[in-house]
Structure 1
């Protein structure tokens, strides 16, 4: 699980929220699998809204420029982001995400993303709650920040007890399917950047680059 702060700039958050506040939302059950419909109680931005392409592009560009996201996730496919709205009394019960997302050009869900869009002080409840080996992890981030977690995990959204919670969710198919291999590559990339920053281009740095590239070449899915 990885928290990435300030994925969106304050101006980008302001633009997206303004579009969402003026947009039409539909029953979230319409975009849920047959079993998830039983526990999903929220609203989803209508695909007919003229602003949906604009705000999806804002988020996609933010993901593409975020080096931490790119090196940790190594996205091959990013499913078009869905925007949700939770009013007082709404929640999303415990569930796992479908292995394949979408009706056409399906995306294998290796990783899930929740992008927080509302100021956390503007609503009560509404935490993203992820089941881990050490118990449930409650996540409630600043607007513009996001959490990345395995799509195979049980997770839920707690009941919003006051205010309105806007969020974006999407799913990633990674070039590196295995989570442990992704972790190794991410740690090597982190060390590689730190060594270059401290010592510059050294023989040891070159060897590390070679090892990183060879592992990526070995594990990448073509």
Structure 2
């Protein structure tokens, strides 16, 4: 699980929120699959709405240019972001994301390796509504400032607890990674972040950085599936 600070600025979040006020919202269970249908109780912005399409494309561009997202996910394909809204008493019980997703208006499919939530509401705007992810270290609760992002394995059981006051708005998407194995992907992320830290602090020689880069890219070459 990786948290990315401020993928969107406060001003950009405000633009997204204002645009979403003008869109049509649908019952979220229309997009759920299998057992998830019975535990999903929220609303989702109509993906056919041109406003929603523009917002999704804008967010796709930000995701693709965010170095830490790319480092954590190594995305090969990204599902067009969806926008959801939880009002009082709405929640999404424990579920696992579908392993294979068909890309909208396409015959192409995506294997969901990585899930991502972009928070569009400030934590003090609502009560409840925590994203809870089951990990090997127990349940991890996530409730981040607007514009912040959490990336986590799509294979994990997760839920959104009931909102008891206010409204929670977020964007979600899924990615097929070039490296499908979670452990390998985590190791590559840690190695890349170490290299970036050494570059930023200028605590390693160019020779040593070149050696680390060589190891990193050869590992990506070895484990990537493209």
What band does the TM-score fall into relative to the shorter chain? over 0.9
Which residue of the partner structure matches residue 214 of structure 1?
218
Residues 36-76 of structure 1 show CA distances to partners (whole Å, capped at 9, x for unaligned) of: 11010001111232201211122112112211111121111
Please say if residues 57 and 80 of structure 2, whose CA atoms lie closer than 8 Å, have aligned partners that are also in contact. Answer: no
CA distance, structure 2, for counterparts of residue 122 and residue 202 of structure 1: 47
Moved more, 116-125 or 175-184: 175-184
Partner residue of 2:93?
Answer: 93
Whole-Å separation in 2 of the counterparts to 1:92 and 1:191: 36
TM-score by length of 2: 0.93
Alignment of 1:16-95 (within 5 A): 16-95=16-95
Q: Distance in 1 between matches of 2:136 and 2:189?
A: 22
Structure 1 alignment gaps of length 5 or more: none
Once the two structures are TM-superposed, the CA of residue 182 in structure 1 deviates from its matched residue by: 1.3
Q: Which range is displaced more, 163-172 or 46-55?
A: 46-55
Taking only aligned residues, the RMSD between alpha carbons, in angstroms, comes to 1.4
Q: Which moved more, 1:154-163 or 1:200-209?
A: 200-209
Larger deviation: 100-109 or 63-72? 100-109
What is the distance in 2 between the residues matched to 1:156 and 1:60?
24
Q: Provide the TM-score with structure 1 as the length reference.
A: 0.95
Q: Which residue of 2 aligns with 1:153?
A: 156
How far apart, CA to CA, are the structure 2 residues paired with 1:155 and 1:199?
A: 39
Offset at 1:78? 0.5
Number of residue pairs the alignment of both structures matches: 222
For the 8 Å contact 1:12–1:58, the answer to whether it is kept is no
Unaligned runs of 5+ in 2: none
